[in-house]
Structure 1
Amino acid sequence: MNRNVWRWLAAYAASLIGDGVYFLALGWAAAQAAGPGEVGLVMATGAVPRALLMLGGGVVADRFGPRLVVISSDAVRCGVILVLAAVVALTSPGLTVLVLVALVFGVVDALFMPAVGALPPRIAGPGQLVRVQGLRSLAERVGHTAGPPVAGLAMGLGGAAAAFGVAAGLFGISLALLLTVRISAGPVAAAGAAGPPESAWRGLRAGLGYIRRHGLIGPLVLSGALSQLGTSAPMTLGLILLAGDRGWGPGGVGWIVGALGVGAACSALVLTLLPRFPRAGVVQNLTLVFGSAGIGSLVLAPSLPVAVGLALVTGLVCGICGGLAVALIQTATDPAYLGRVSSVMAFTAVGLAPLAYPVFGVAAGLWGITPVFLAGGALSMAGAAVGTASPAVRRAELAFA
């Protein structure tokens, strides 16, 4: 693995930790200024522009190049949070200021996420993409795990202002590292630098049409969207309802979520260390089948220890499935469309999948948690059926360095 990749991974991890610190500090600052309802409003504000602008962020990444977009995004976040840290230290900002900051972050995230997803093929060879995805997954685990305790320590020492200052420092570290990342010369870099000449709307339509027509990318993206719709609600709201129904309490939720995280971290190590994955398309599809079955059957676990063990295996299988899917998609994508393809994958996770939460909650209230959990697993399994029906997915292979 070249130094470029390691610098990108370190920058990505620093940015994720900064995100976690910022989010908790924002909630804390909002709680000092208003009641619980307003706090929820502030915390949810950033999700609106992120969902609405995510697909457009892919067009921007392809037009101007993902490296420039990622660097600009980190620079904006660093500057905005530095100003906010000073404002919080000197005054007591009202909700208007916090909402504006959340909106800015939502817009920046809509640009950052597609761009950061489009960078790996430009800094690593095709034979390294599986390992890069494994390392990226590890960086995400580190970022999501480290963010809350870092935020708690900073707020304990100096309140929300100190936490915002730490977040700004982490974004600054990420920015400094990203400035040292170089796009490798060759057709990939050239295509990305040239960018599509059409308007933003035409660029978006062209990207969606490219995904729809591509024999491998289209089925994998659709398969991933169905899986996200089927599993995101069970793995969040569903676990809370399940633990309450079984009498496992908040600790039970923590054990299950922790087991899923450990399994996913183990899958990242497998992707990073395993020399190769023969029949990568078949393996990806089979792991999606087993992962969907594991998530759906969590509701059938007779005890908490069984549910934790099942979650551990499910996290491992789903992590391998997701890493292989992303590597296959990025290997097959024309460089001029990397940002838009990445934006569609990100949109299904942060824009489309959350729509299933209220549906899941209402359905669980009407019919009980067991059939709804099983229906989620079945919907995810439908994603595997899409992959199975695609000859391109069944034949897909990955090169290894």
Structure 2
Amino acid sequence: MTSYSPTIQLIATSPMGLEAVVAREVRELGYDQVTVENGRITYTGDLLAICRSNLWLRTSDRVLVRMAQFEAKSFDELFEGVKALPWADWIPEDGEFPVEGRSHKSQLSSVPACQGIVKKAVVDSMKQRYGTEWFRETGGRYVIEVSLLNDIATITLDTTGPGLHKRGYRKLVTEAPLKETMAAAMVLLSRWQPQQPLYDPFCGSGTIPIEAAMIGWNLAPGLRRSFNSESWPLIGEELWEQAREEAYDSVKDDIPLQIGGSDIDASAIEVALAAAKAAGLANDLTFKTIPVGKALPTGDYGCLLTNPPYGERLGDSGEVERALRQFGHMYKQLPNWSAYLLSPSKQLEHYVGRHADKKRKLFNGRIECNLFQFFAPGGLYGWRKGAGQAEENGRKET
């Protein structure tokens, strides 16, 4: 294990509207020094926290090291602030270090110019450590970002690489697929429990059922992929091995799952089956090619969790309206089930036939949606009371 394990500031970036969910995940990992801002959750950790965060965060987009934050109203201030950072502690002599940038409401408004200044400052800093004038950049990848907001520069180092929504199980995609991070957020926001049936009648490529199964079995979503920082000498292979061993030891795959989905599109179901197989869940999830009007799940108590089609995303408005009406008819036959639908539709409650108990604004890509939440009788946890009563009645009958 590496002998150098500094206390560092980490940033888990968040889709708009999911900051509280990401913050809850960070705290559940054991990191309680958390600051929540728009689009980012900042927290304190060590090098092992980088590994754990990448492996476990289901709803974050990526994990960044916050190298520094300082005022930069001029290129000189930006250059000196970046140059003063210990880049050679993180980046080896052969490391590849591209610079990305963005600027909003700042005097340094030219992003390409800021990127160039940051690159030059990092090179100058590393020259002092390595005693060379030229860096080949043929080794591991260390993506640096300069983000300027109201003349405050935040300098970060990306530990993730491809976004955390890329779990590794979805090789094929359907039209307008739901991101894995959003599907996981829907499951977490529903407070679904693995003992409870869960069904998605508009399952598409199966993302919601797969993410639910991974949550139910406590499968770390990053176990089947790699990350940029796995090749970083500062972290070392042993810390990554430790984090992965912890994740494997935490799996609870002895819990019986009652999770399924259906879709009218047979090709989408083929994609869902392939994804379930790639995720190691082929024998534990059920997928069917049927229209929503015939998708009546079994079980006295359960959770409908779905992202129905909508006009802005796919299909025409007439088809969407018919599908939502059929969902409403189906839902009326499940009086003890809760339902959670992510949709931009202003008429969704009308089609379902009742007012939502709660609505939460979320963004599916760039489309503003609501997570419409219809609770089972007894409120958010009513199914537990009913299920417990049914179990008690069963004992009395025997």
Global fold match (TM > 0.5): no
Structure with larger Rg: 2
Q: What TM-score comes out, normalization by structure 2 length?
A: 0.22
Q: Which has the higher contact order (CA 8 A, sep 6+)?
A: 1
Higher helix share: 1
Q: What TM-score comes out, normalization by structure 1 length?
A: 0.22
Higher strand share: 2
